[in-house]
Amino acid sequence: MGSQKVRQSPGAAPQFFYGYIVVVAAFFIMVVIYGAQNAFGIFFKPILTEFGWTRAMTSGAFSLSWIVTGLLAIVMGGLTDRFGPRLVMTLCGFFLGLGYLLMSQIGTAWQLYLFYGVIIGTGMGGVFIPLTSTIARWFVKRRSMVTGIVMSGVGMGILITPLVASRLIFTYDWRSSYIILGSIVLVVVVLAAQLLRRDPTQVGQRPYGENEGEEPGLELGTKAFSLKEAVYTKQFRVVSAMLFCFGFCEFTIIVHIVPHAIDLEISAVSAANILATIGGLNIVGRVVLGGAGDRIGNRQVFIFGFILMAAALFWLVPATEAWMLYLFAAIFGFAHGGCAVSSAPLVAALFGLSSHGLIMGFVGLSYTSGAALGPFLAGYIFDITSSYQLAFLVCGAIAVVGLILAALLTPTKTS
């Protein structure tokens, strides 16, 4: 593939670069899918109230979904490398839409775990890796910035969906809200997936910025690693551990910040706004720090992001007023956005693109393991202490570990 030549006759008008269509389609997929996923915290209290389950049991379904996501992301990354993102995203859109529709019918804990943990987890397994790996193939120059634009869809989803879900639950009920949510996910994702293409050669084009020079930082001199070669490097282990820390902190907050705010007698609407604030600053972080990654390198973005994340989490421990939670949300959202957008470009910088989807799937398993453990552990800590303070302290400590790992990351050898 890399050796294919794409010719254009002299004097011909420049072709419209199809990569921009891929970017737009991927952005809207991110908005819808991650908006729906991050609305779990909005549905948390209504489900808890109706069934009387513990917080560990309820958040356990969310954790199970991440375990399934992590395992299937490896498969989906390989399928994307071989067949492209269109098929993978179509299948995932179907599973996600079905899962949310079935969530409206739950009556027992095993149904919650099957519908959310397994079916929705299956759908989520083919989202992040196929989309970010596809963007990495379409863009060489400004890869981090474009990845940031696409992944700002996650922040947009977090900004919009909690507010919409909160209003829907207030107007109707949580079951009807899941029906509406599932229908939107099914239609938007399946339709948008038809616009995706694996790489520029499929439409007779070249990657944007190909042969215009290397990106800064760790990209210098990167060779194309196979999965087997990558696994045996120190960098693979460091990145995997670093992403575990990131996933742990990120989704502990996403799942539990709204219930925590309501426990502090902050209104449900304001609690949803706090989550939305994380989404809004997440967008800023992805765009600003995504662009910065092109200039200073993605490792530096992770270092900066973990510093902010740790500071915000330690601030959250004694926070009791609404303004304090909004300040936390702003700092955490900005840092979270910067780290999230840097992961795929960082893996491309360290290991090249020939097996990018598959390698992302394996390092992503560490991320999803953290995303699975964090929310469940926080729920368990609350169940035995009636407080989230210890859980947030643990998150702060995990963020410090992530910072140390990012600081220790070095370039891969090119021999």
Task: Look at residue 353 and tell me if it is in a domain.
Answer: yes
As a whole number of angstroms, the distance between CA 64 and CA 85 comes to 24
Question: Cβ contacts of residue 278 below 8 Å, gap of 6+?
Answer: 158, 253, 254, 257, 329, 332, 333, 336
Task: Look at residue 307 and tell me if it is in a domain.
Answer: yes
At 374, the amino acid letter reads: G
- What are 80-109's pLDDT values in tens digits? 778 888 999 999 999 999 999 999 999 999
Number of domains in the chain: 1
At 141, the amino acid letter reads: K
Q: What percent of the chain has pLDDT over 90?
A: 53
Question: Cβ contacts of residue 110 below 8 Å, gap of 6+?
Answer: none
- What are 311-355's pLDDT values in tens digits? 999 999 999 999 999 999 999 999 988 888 788 788 888 888 777
The encoded tokens of residue 135 equal 């963007």
pLDDT bin (cut points 50, 70, 90) of residue 36 is: very high
Task: Look at residue 80 and tell me if it is in a domain.
Answer: yes
pLDDT bin (cut points 50, 70, 90) of residue 33 is: very high
pLDDT bin (cut points 50, 70, 90) of residue 6 is: very low
Region 53-61: mean pLDDT is 92
Rounded to 5 degrees, what are φ and ψ at 387? -155, 150
Read off the CATH number of the domain in which 291 is found: 1.20.1250.20
Angle among Cα 254, 27, 6 to the nearest 5 degrees reads 140
Task: Look at residue 7 and tell me if it is in a domain.
Answer: no
As a whole number of angstroms, the distance between CA 401 and CA 310 comes to 10
pLDDT of 9 strictly over 70: no
As a whole number of angstroms, the distance between CA 192 and CA 390 comes to 42
Eight-class DSSP state of 75: H
Task: Look at residue 10 and tell me if it is in a domain.
Answer: no
As a whole number of angstroms, the distance between CA 86 and CA 404 comes to 38
Question: Cβ contacts of residue 41 below 8 Å, gap of 6+?
Answer: 162, 254, 255, 256, 257, 258, 259, 275
- What are 369-407's pLDDT values in tens digits? 998 899 999 999 999 999 999 999 999 999 999 999 999
How many other CB atoms are there within 10 angstroms of residue 113's CB atom? 18
At 21, the amino acid letter reads: I
Task: Look at residue 1 and tell me if it is in a domain.
Answer: no
Residue linked to tokens 């910067």: 338
Domain that holds residue 98: 19-408
- What are 135-178's pLDDT values in tens digits? 878 887 777 778 778 888 888 888 898 889 999 998 999 999 99
Task: Look at residue 238 and tell me if it is in a domain.
Answer: yes
As a whole number of angstroms, the distance between CA 227 and CA 41 comes to 36
Task: Look at residue 2 and tell me if it is in a domain.
Answer: no
Taking the model in full, what pTM does it have?
A: 0.77
DSSP 213-257: -PPSGGGTT-----HHHHHTSHHHHHHHHHHHHHHHHHHHHHHHH
